[in-house]
Amino acid sequence: MVAGAGIGGLAAALAATRAGWLAHVFEQSAQLGEVGAGIQLGPNATRLLRAWDLLPAALLQGCAPERVVARDAQGGHELGVLPLGREAEARYGAPYLTIHRAELHGLLQQAAQAAGVRTHTGQRVRAFIESDTAVGLDLDAAASPEGDALVAADGLWSGLRRQLLGDAPPTPSDHVAYRGLVPMSELPPRWRVAEVTAWLGPRLHAVSYPVRGGDMLNIVFFLEESPRAGERWGWDHPAAAARLKAGLPAVCAPLRELVERVPSWGLWVLHDRPPVAGPQEMARGRVALLGDAAHPMRPYLAQGAAMALEDAFALGRALACVEADVADLPAALRRYALERWQRCARVQRRSLRNATLFHAGGPLRLGRDLALRSLGRRVMDL
């Protein structure tokens, strides 16, 4: 059983089904879907989409950018370039992809359905009840299903994690993300390029890239700003452009013009949680954590969903090794946790470190800009 039908939960159910298990997914929302806008996936994640036969469709719906460019948000000038395209694809064995979240979610949903995953919407999992041989779910609905194992993929505010580990909720950071989407046809030609651009400025950065086959530009500003009352919970609070503009110090003309052209903004407050201390915090008995429920991270390495996909793949491999005896399941979940916890912790820490680097001022900024000049000569190690 899987709690949560986000990108992580659907991928986990797909991987489990392909490993020979029957997966049931319980999702609290009345309808399956994804809020938000674009998502970047590095080759570590697109490799997995290929393994699940989803890459060709993902490339048709999304975009394969030719390069990542770092620019100074104040001056607009180029700080460094990381070429992607064919050369990078040959080196890393898979392309870099930018895609709308709803499209990625839709592809996973279709694949899961085709593989035989059973999805139950409008079913909030309140708690689990574990015995030596099974796990039961306490649902809002009357029925209490039981299964051999539970994967808690219930996201950042995971209640099932709280039950499993007894730890506190994640803490809100002082970083807020404003995301917008704008049709390319409404933008000057300089924006209609197949590239990911990271605009770095003191106490802020922005990331822009094409989605929807190049028809839309996705833009996200990350500002150091205290969240307002009522914004802590939930995703995608509507935000007035005036608020974003008031929070933006002197940024270059193209970025200011872009802000004017975006029809509406959605706001997320970014949250932090320290990495788990060991595999025993990612899986216990017949219950495993996956995706943001296990390791929420700042989106400053664009790896949160990628880690959820990697988790799902590792889970599928661990489950494929279980013989017919379901008594082996706790051992399989332990193997999954052993494989995943250190990598996820490392990526979480590096994502957080990027917050300091991206928003740097003074000597750190000078050092960063110097290092960015050699971006194209370095190798991504994800």
Catalytic residues: 209
What's the CA gap between 150 and 333, in Å, rounded? Answer: 10
What's the CA gap between 308 and 344, in Å, rounded? Answer: 9
Q: Which is nearer to ligand FAD, 303 or 334 (CB)?
A: 303
Task: Choose, by CB under 6 A, the member of 21, 92, 268, 341 that binds ligand FAD.
Answer: 268
Q: Which is nearer to ligand FAD, 17 or 40 (CB)?
A: 40
What's the CA gap between 167 and 116, in Å, rounded? Answer: 34
Residue 266, classed as helix, strand or coil, is: strand
Task: Choose, by CB under 6 A, the member of 1, 2, 4, 100 that binds ligand FAD.
Answer: 4
Residue of 198, 213, 193, 205 whose CA lies nearest to 82: 198
Report strand pairing: 24-26 vs 2-3.
parallel
Q: Does the protein bind ligand FAD through residue 6 (CB under 6 A)?
A: yes
Q: Which span (193-201, 281-289, 296-304, 341-349) binds ligand FAD, by CB under 6 A? A: 296-304
Site for ligand FAD, residues 167 to 196, rule: CB under 6 A? 177, 179
Q: Which is nearer to ligand FAD, 4 or 275 (CB)?
A: 4
Tell me the two tokens of residue 371. Answer: 């290092």
What's the CA gap between 335 and 133, in Å, rounded? Answer: 18
Neighbour tally for 228: CB within 10 Å: 13
Q: Which is nearer to ligand FAD, 29 or 74 (CB)?
A: 29
Q: Which span (36-44, 57-65, 226-234, 342-350) binds ligand FAD, by CB under 6 A? A: 36-44
Count H helices and E strands in the chain, helices first.
11, 19
What's the CA gap between 124 and 80, in Å, rounded? Answer: 46
Site for ligand FAD, residues 190 to 249, rule: CB under 6 A? 220
Task: Choose, by CB under 6 A, the member of 43, 170, 180, 304 that binds ligand FAD.
Answer: 304
Q: Does the protein bind ligand FAD through residue 159 (CB under 6 A)?
A: yes
The CA-CA-CA angle for residues 264, 193, 37, to 5°, reads 30
Q: Does the protein bind ligand FAD through residue 125 (CB under 6 A)?
A: yes
* Interacting residues toward ligand FAD by CB under 6 A: 3-9, 26-29, 39-41, 124-125, 153-156, 159, 177, 179, 220, 268, 291-292, 299, 302-306, 308
